[in-house]
Amino acid sequence: MSTILVVDDSPTIRRMVIAALRRIPDVRFVEAGNGLEAIEQLALARIDALVLDLNMPEMHGLEVVQFVRTHQTYRTIPIVVLTTRGDDASRETVLGAGATGYLTKPFDPAALATCIANLLRKV
């Protein structure tokens, strides 16, 4: 069973992401409401993939990407950023920092599920 960490400061968005990803077989979900909580969850559970917002309190999503990519234990975890920022500069910055994928809100639930399912198959 794979574990997906869903990180967004909006509980509604977290529920929407989880609902979209339930179509993937054999997954369970862990949630975090900000970047600091995400890092705590990484330490508490084996995480197989992250779905991560950028604009959050406590710790920006880009900082989470940078943290994950600089720590040996976590650096291979796929990270899909799901954000309202659709500009090329944000996309390039986040992908350059090591994010695996970049999707914008509002999102297509099927596209998100396909993206995550493909990443989990590679892990």
Position 108 pLDDT exceeds 70 = yes
Number of domains present in the structure of the chain: 1
Q: Which residue has the higher pLDDT, 44 or 123?
A: 44
pTM assigned to the model: 0.95
CATH of the domain at 20: 3.40.50.2300
Residue 51: domain span: 2-122
Of the candidates 24, 84, 2, 28, the one whose C-alpha atom is nearest the C-alpha of residue 94 is: 84
